[in-house]
């Protein structure tokens, strides 16, 4: 091993240890101040026995919407979607014209009333039985004597029995209160509807609202009780996992750190890809067993399909290596482009998870299970590292092949084909939006596709356009640049049909960076100024953009008070130099109220910079932003340096150099995207820009955002290079 490689390895390990130490300190501070925050999860576990069995397929509205679709369509029109829950496939079919049989209103209302009576009685019976079952379980568990009860003092036994009796009476009183509240709702809301003989549309709509309440939808007493007890079992399971996670938090962080480092060592191993796949599967099984012993994962022996599948892959690789060694892929050693790649990714993603964990414990109760989702997504992102690195070369060659066809000189037929494919892509994204795919997911796919397409264009056309422009052959340069403009128009159309303008802002800034490098930075800055003027001129006529501009101009008199809450919180955190500290941050405000009246509900995703200000103060929050910016700038600088090496005319004749040029451009645009999102998010939180709804990569909550950032970093940040 060369001296340079030894120094690089030592430096990388030192940075990884530093990242682990910082995360361990934050975790220790968080767990030391988590006693009050853990109480909400303990309450969920205690209420786990209050499970109300109400399968989705048996809900009244689902049955009525399927059976009496024509009647509901005639009564509700476009408002039918408010009452009729549909699956993704049903929503896709709903976009197509269809005919449904008509239903007699009088017979339909008779059926509805009968089914409402049966459902109300069934739920009341379950509520009563739930209470009695919970009481019997409580009494038996608390009155059970320990093995060494004979040696205990009699007074202690009597005290235990009195405490059990008091708890029994409290549970009995709670059960009676639940049944009383349910009966009161039945008398006031449901009984008058059932006694009425009215068969008009208004009567049918009232029955629909009652069914909606019995399905657990709405804000009345019945809906809240059904919703609470329907999800009691699932909430108890989630809460128990989070309690176990918080108890073993330092050990689990160290285990994730060790897995990430071990996977990187596997990638550096000079061996065929099949060997690395087998080693990765063994590491996965070992980590699974470690998580099981820490009470943070199910027993691996109960997941026989996964065990059999993993062992089968290892066995097939062994057979291939033993009997057909000549057909094995060539041995290669994949190394990160810099010692910063793995430590920076692990540090920022770990801090992002710990921030979400703090908010799950101490922020709005609706967000109390977000940490579990982020925890699972973080482990999956670690497993994505070898997958991304091993598949990056194949993906780069595929994009080059598509780019060679897609960015050839425009002809009438090819232009029509490209336009048709673009419209087809816009239509597909519109369908995904209509069937309920969240905007964050479609936005991440949009940014990923734009990066891939723009990088392919840069490989084939960037140098030619730049030379033509500087040679004052502007018409030919613009003709060569038309495919990139078409990609931008398609991206803008997708952003419009999905009603998500945040990714469009990032895409516009990326186009400005690209064209500024070709035509000069003076023109690029002019484009930025023109873009902001366009936002002010057009944005005031758009509801969302207009409200955000209003909140930016005067946050304390605007219709939406998100910016005012952020300003208040940042001013409160600035009173102390180092913020409130992990576990002590008043996410819900400094005044104790029955409800959480503090920061906006989107704190964990859109307002990460404000959360960091409350955690560690404005100075360290800006320092973390600067450190993240250095990481993103380092990625784009490495991408620019590598592209200069591989974009030489003679080098581009070699397919391998073309693939490396593609990867270098993707690395460049990945760094640009990470930088832009972080700075736009921070600028929006501090009031320098209007709020955009963008997330901070790696640090904000969001599975799709975390996975996309991980994919961009490890696909193009790891290759056959020396660090």
Per-residue pLDDT tens digits for 468-523: 777 778 787 777 777 788 888 888 888 888 877 778 888 888 888 787 777 666 66
pLDDT of residue 58: 66
Torsion, Cα of 159, 164, 170, 175 (10° steps): -170
pLDDT of residue 52: 67
**Closest Cα to residue 378, out of 705, 607, 694?**
705
For residue 520, is it left (φ>0), alpha (ψ between -120 and 50) or beta?
left
**Whole-angstrom Cα distance, residue 588 to residue 196?**
46
Q: Band of the pLDDT at 169, cuts 50, 70, 90? A: low
| Weakest-pLDDT range from 76-85, 660-669, 675-684 | 76-85
| Residue 354 burial class via C-beta count within 10 angstroms: exposed 0-12, middle 13-18, buried 19 and up | buried
**Whole-angstrom Cα distance, residue 451 to residue 668?**
10
Instruction: Kindly tell me if the per-residue pLDDT of 159 is higher than 50.
Output: yes
Give every CB contact of residue 11 below 8 A, 6+ residues apart in sequence: 339
User: To 5 degrees, how large is the angle CA 161–CA 162–CA 163?
Assistant: 90
**Whole-angstrom Cα distance, residue 483 to residue 486?**
5
Of the chain, the percentage scoring pLDDT greater than 70 comes to 78
Instruction: Kindly tell me if the per-residue pLDDT of 554 is higher than 50.
Output: yes
Whether the Cβ atoms of residue 188 and residue 224 lie closer than 8 Å to each other:
no
**Mean pLDDT, all residues of the chain:** 78
Residue of higher predicted confidence among 310 and 538: 310
**Closest Cα to residue 524, out of 532, 535, 534, 514?**
514
**Whole-angstrom Cα distance, residue 556 to residue 213?**
37
What is this structure's pTM? 0.81
**Whole-angstrom Cα distance, residue 45 to residue 187?**
32
Mean pLDDT of 341-363: 92
Helix axes 370-406, 232-247, angle to 10 degrees: 90
Whether the Cβ atoms of residue 561 and residue 550 lie closer than 8 Å to each other:
no
Please give the structure tokens belonging to residue 211: 């069914």
Residue 556 is inside which H or E element, if any? none
Supply the DSSP string of 61-114, one letter for each residue.
HHHHHHHSHHHHHHHHGGGHHHH----HHHHHHHTS--------HHHHHHHHHH
**Whole-angstrom Cα distance, residue 398 to residue 354?**
38
SS3 (DSSP) at 271? strand
Residue 719 is inside which H or E element, if any? strand 718-719
Beta bridge partners of 719: 335
Q: How many CA atoms lie within 13 A of 306 on its CB side?
A: 11
pLDDT of residue 629: 92
Supply the DSSP string of 491-534, one letter for each residue.
HHHHHHHTT--HHHHHHHHHHHHHHHHHH-HHHHHHHHHHHHHH
SS3 (DSSP) at 723? coil
| Residue 527 burial class via C-beta count within 10 angstroms: exposed 0-12, middle 13-18, buried 19 and up | middle
CB atoms within 10 A of CB 533: 10
Per-residue pLDDT tens digits for 186-230: 888 888 888 888 778 888 888 888 888 888 887 788 888 887 777
**Whole-angstrom Cα distance, residue 462 to residue 639?**
15
Residue 718, φ and ψ in degrees, nearest 5: -130, 130
Residue of higher predicted confidence among 122 and 542: 122
pLDDT of residue 350: 95
Instruction: Kindly tell me if the per-residue pLDDT of 534 is higher than 60.
Output: no
Residue 335 is inside which H or E element, if any? strand 335-336
Per-residue pLDDT tens digits for 593-633: 556 777 888 888 888 998 999 898 888 999 999 999 999 99
Residue 187 is inside which H or E element, if any? none
Which residues in 256-334 belong to E strands, given as ranges? none
Per-residue pLDDT tens digits for 385-439: 888 888 887 777 777 777 665 555 556 666 677 777 778 888 888 888 777 777 7
| Highest averaged pLDDT of the listed ranges 30-39, 78-87, 408-417 | 30-39
How far does Cα 79 stand from its chain's mean position?
29
Beta bridge partners of 378: none
Residue 644, φ and ψ in degrees, nearest 5: -65, -30
Alpha helices in 555-654 (DSSP H): 562-573, 603-606, 608-646
Per-residue pLDDT tens digits for 113-146: 888 888 888 888 777 765 544 444 444 444 444 4
Total residues found in the chain within this entry:
723
Please give the structure tokens belonging to residue 621: 């929050």
């Amino acid at each position: 091993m060369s001296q340079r490689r030894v120094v690089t390895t030592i430096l990388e390990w030192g940075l990884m240890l530093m990242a682990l130490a910082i995360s361990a300190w934050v975790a220790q501070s968080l767990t030391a101040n988590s006693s009050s925050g853990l109480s909400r999860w303990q309450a969920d576990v205690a209420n786990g026995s209050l499970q109300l069995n109400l399968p989705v397929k048996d809900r009244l509205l689902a049955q009525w919407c399927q059976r009496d679709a024509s009647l509901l369509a005639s009564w509700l029109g476009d408002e039918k979607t408010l009452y009729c829950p549909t699956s993704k496939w049903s929503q896709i079919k709903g976009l197509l014209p269809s005919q449904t049989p008509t239903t007699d209103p009088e017979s339909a209302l008779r059926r509805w009333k009968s089914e409402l009576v049966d459902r109300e009685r069934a739920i009341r019976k379950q509520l009563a039985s739930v209470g009695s079952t919970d009481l019997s379980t409580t009494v038996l568990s608390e009155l059970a004597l320990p093995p060494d009860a004979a040696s205990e003092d009699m007074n202690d036994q009597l005290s235990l029995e009195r405490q059990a009796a008091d708890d029994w009476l409290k549970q009995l009183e709670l059960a009676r209160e639940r049944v009383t509240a349910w009966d009161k709702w039945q008398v006031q809301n449901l009984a008058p509807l059932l006694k009425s003989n009215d068969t008009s549309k208004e009567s049918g709509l009232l029955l629909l609202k009652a069914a909606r309440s019995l399905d657990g939808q709405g804000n009345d007493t019945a809906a809240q009780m059904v919703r609470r007890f329907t999800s009691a079992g699932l909430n108890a399971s989630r809460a128990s996992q989070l309690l176990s996670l918080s108890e073993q938090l330092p050990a689990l962080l160290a285990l994730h750190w060790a897995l990430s480092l071990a996977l990187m060592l596997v990638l550096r191993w000079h061996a065929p890809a099949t060997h690395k796949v087998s080693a990765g599967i063994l590491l996965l099984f070992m980590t699974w067993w470690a998580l099981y012993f820490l009470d943070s994962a199910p027993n691996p022996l109960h997941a026989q399909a996964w065990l059999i599948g993993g062992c089968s892959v290892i066995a097939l690789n062994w057979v291939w290596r033993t009997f057909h060694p000549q057909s094995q892929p060539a041995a290669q050693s994949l190394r990160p482009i810099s010692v910063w790649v793995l430590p920076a990714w692990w540090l920022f993603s770990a801090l992002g998870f710990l921030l979400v964990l703090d908010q799950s414990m101490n922020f709005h109760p609706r967000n109390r299970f977000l940490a579990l989702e982020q925890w699972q997504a973080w482990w999956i992102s670690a497993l994505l590292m070898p997958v991304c690195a091993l598949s990056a070369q194949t993906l780069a060659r595929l994009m080059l092949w598509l780019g060679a066809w897609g960015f050839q000189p425009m002809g009438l037929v090819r232009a029509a084909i490209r336009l048709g494919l673009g419209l087809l892509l816009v239509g597909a994204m519109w369908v995904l939006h209509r069937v309920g795919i969240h905007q964050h997911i479609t936005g991440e796919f949009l940014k990923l596709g734009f990066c891939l397409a723009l990088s392919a264009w840069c490989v084939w056309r960037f140098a030619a356009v730049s030379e033509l422009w500087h040679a004052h052959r502007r018409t030919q340069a613009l003709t060569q640049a038309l495919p990139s403009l078409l990609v931008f128009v398609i991206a803008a159309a997708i952003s419009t049909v999905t009603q998500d303008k945040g990714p469009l802002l990032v895409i516009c800034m990326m186009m400005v960076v690209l064209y500024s490098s070709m035509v000069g930075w003076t023109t690029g800055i002019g484009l930025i100024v023109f873009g902001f003027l366009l936002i002010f001129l057009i944005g005031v006529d758009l509801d969302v953009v207009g409200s955000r501009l209003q909140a930016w101009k005067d946050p304390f008199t605007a219709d939406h008070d998100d910016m005012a809450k952020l300003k208040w919180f940042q001013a409160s955190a600035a009173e102390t130099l180092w913020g409130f500290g992990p576990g002590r941050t008043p996410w819900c405000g400094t005044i104790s109220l029955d409800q959480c009246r503090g920061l906006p509900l989107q704190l964990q995703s859109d307002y990460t910079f404000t959360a960091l200000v409350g955690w560690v103060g404005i100075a360290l929050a800006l320092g973390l932003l600067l450190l993240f910016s250095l990481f993103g700038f380092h990625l784009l600088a490495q991408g620019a340096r590598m592209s200069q090496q591989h974009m030489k005319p003679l080098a581009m004749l070699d397919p391998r150099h073309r693939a490396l040029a593609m990867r270098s451009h993707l690395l460049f645009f990945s760094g640009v995207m990470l930088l832009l999102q972080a700075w736009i998010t921070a600028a929006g939180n501090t009031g320098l820009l209007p709020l955009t709804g963008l997330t901070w990569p790696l640090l904000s909550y969001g599975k799709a955002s975390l996975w996309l950032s991980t994919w961009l970093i490890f696909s193009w940040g790891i290759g056959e290079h020396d660090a």
